[in-house]
Amino acid sequence: MSGRVYLVGAGPGAADLLTLRAARLLKAAEVVVHDRLVGPDVLALCRPDAELVDVSKRPGGESVAQEEIHRVLVERARAGFEVVRLKGGDPFVFGRGGEEAQALEAAGVSFDVVPGVSSALAAPAAAGLSLTHRELARSITIVTGHAQALEEHDWDALASTDTLVVLMGAATIAEIARRLIAAGRAADTPAVAVQEATLPSQRELAAPLGELAEAVAAAGLRAPLVLVVGAVAALDLRRALALEARA
């Protein structure tokens, strides 16, 4: 009898931001195929006898090929196991979940998708930033900052969006800023970088767009980073609430 694969979003990092369905599936799954960004607190929810398969993709280091991930999922499901494919954030937001769903469908393997809280939304919120604000921002654009994608983006469009959120852009901040400014975005546009959002190690840094790369490097911020560019990056709602509470 064939098993089933669940493409599950693990959320932005903190274990208590998993959905109830994701937590339930982790406790029941016989096999959990997980990414690098899935932390130990989340994996601790797995049943004790579950097979944990690490299929991490490490920038600049050894990575598991996407085709190998497809093979593992199909193989374990055909062996009759209930499999959770656990991906950081949401599987369908720059998580290659769509490719995995296509591979499972082509192999005749049954699957379900369990959405997760994307770091594109969670990181700004955890940093006290509202991506939309009636007086400041009525549009959001989310893009990947991978170097190979930079040549494909419409920089004129990105420069004109109210709020720009960049995932996986830790290594390309300087080039992203250069292209945005060249396309007409002001160099003094507020920007924020959020590292390891929702975890105890979360760090944030605010700087004008034209100075962001230098500031991030000087502060030693590292991947995973979420970048927010736009007027809302100057609106620190946590600070406002703290000031109001002390008043």
Helix (H) or strand (E) run with residue 1 in it: none
Taking residues 211-235, report their average pLDDT: 96
Per-residue pLDDT tens over the stretch 17-38 = 999 999 999 999 999 999 988 9
pLDDT greater than 60 at residue 244: no
Residue 135 is predicted with a pLDDT of 86
Q: Which domains does the chain have, with CATH numbers?
A: 4-114 (3.40.1010.10), 119-238 (3.30.950.10)
- Catalytic residue, from 16, 27, 57, 87: name it: 57
Q: Please report which confidence band the pLDDT of residue 243 belongs to, taking 50, 70 and 90 as the band edges.
A: very low
> What pTM value is reported for the model?
0.91
87 counts as catalytic: no
- Catalytic residue, from 16, 27, 35, 54: name it: 35
CA–CA gap between residue 140 and residue 163 (Å, rounded)? 5
154 counts as catalytic: no
pLDDT greater than 60 at residue 219: yes
Mean pLDDT computed over every residue of the chain: 93
